[in-house]
Structure 1
Amino acid sequence: MFEQLTEQFQSAMKPANNLMAVNIQTFEKLTQHHTALLSGVVNDTMTYTKGLSGQKDVSAYMESNKSFLEGLQEKFTSAAKDVYGILSEAQEQTAETYKDLFAHSVPAGKAAPKSAPKAS
């Protein structure tokens, strides 16, 4: 009897555990991605700053600014696409978990009632 209750509890908690796992994985991926992005931006900024000290004329200075900003724009655009991909993957996994949950919660061949029966 106790084993049956334990098994039912574990079965009932499986969707919640799956959702928690998806959240944890997504958080870890986003954390790693943002850490790499921030490290890259800091390194690019340091390189840019060191390069500015060697600029003697305005045109070289402006070209240096332009290339730095274009690099940042490219980096942030790529990062946004990556984050969108990570979140889309998490959304798909979550939707699949809910789909499985609702498929198992309503017995096959029986539709859930749409409204409460009228009281006479």
Structure 2
Amino acid sequence: MFEQMNEQFKTAMKPMTDLATLNMNTVQELAEKSNALYSSLLSESMSYFEKASQQKDLMALAETQKAYAESVQETMSEAAKSSYAVLTEAQQKAGEMMKGMSEDMTTKFTAAAKG
């Protein structure tokens, strides 16, 4: 009897555990992307300071600064697009899970009402 109740509880909780797993995986992926972004920006900054310190005139320094600013802008833009893609995919999967859960509950309620 206890075994049967335990199995029913596991079955009932599966959609919630699947959703929690999706959330955990999404947060982990976003954290990894954030870490990669931070590392990339740090590397770009170090490279910029090294190049800037070697410039002899103001125009060369301005060009170095312009290139750095464009690089940072591109890096941030790519990071935002990548994070948005991760969130969009997670949202779609969560929507599918919720739809499946809703359909499953409707089927069970309908069966219970008929039986």
Query: What TM-score, normalized by structure 2, do the two folds share?
Result: 0.91
Structure 2: gaps spanning 5 or more residues: 111-115
2:107 counterpart SS class: coil
Does the alignment pair 1:84 with 2:84? yes
* Aligned-pair CA distance for 1:107: 2.3
1:54 matched residue in structure 2:
54
Q: Which amino acid aligns with 1:50?
A: E
1:106 counterpart SS class: helix
Does the alignment pair 1:30 with 2:30? yes
1:56 counterpart SS class: coil
Q: CA RMSD in A?
A: 1.4
Q: Per residue, is there more helix in 1 or in 2?
A: 2
2:99 matched residue in structure 1:
99
Count of residues paired in the alignment: 110
Distance in structure 1 (CA, Å) of the matches to 2:92 and 2:44: 35
Query: What TM-score, normalized by structure 1, do the two folds share?
Result: 0.87
Structure 1: gaps spanning 5 or more residues: 111-120
1:118 matched residue in structure 2:
none
Distance in structure 2 (CA, Å) of the matches to 1:25 and 1:70: 32
